[in-house]
Amino acid sequence: MEFDNKFIEVGPYLELRTQPTYMLSFEPKYVYHTVTSALTSDFVEWSTTDSGEAVRIPIFAYKTAKEPLSGLFHFGLQLGFSAMQEAASMFPTDKCKVILVTGVECHDLSEEGEDAYRVYMGISVAREK
């Protein structure tokens, strides 16, 4: 399994009050399975892209505990493993590339009265055709 890390500035999207979206160049040798709902929801939704010029990867906001700071890393791993578990229930994942799109910004929610951070992530799994 291969990992491809991408980053996106979510600030401009948040200012416009629109969902951040990462546009990934489509590679014809893959079918892309993209998470289209928050991985923390009860039912995770996926979309499939098997043609076109780009793959649309929606970016979702997640809240995570503020302390310890290493908890952000832990939370990222949880999201990644959740996505792979979901993907493995749909198709073989041995020849897959996982695209993790992380928001550059990490918002401290203490000004809003919460002892938490808000982080941003989107995930797509590219499976060889």
Q: How confident is the model over 59-85, as pLDDT tens digits?
A: 999 998 877 777 778 887 788 788 878
In whole angstroms, what separates CA 18 from the centre of its chain?
16
2-32 tens-digit pLDDT = 889 999 999 999 999 999 999 999 999 999 9
Q: Whole-model pTM?
A: 0.88
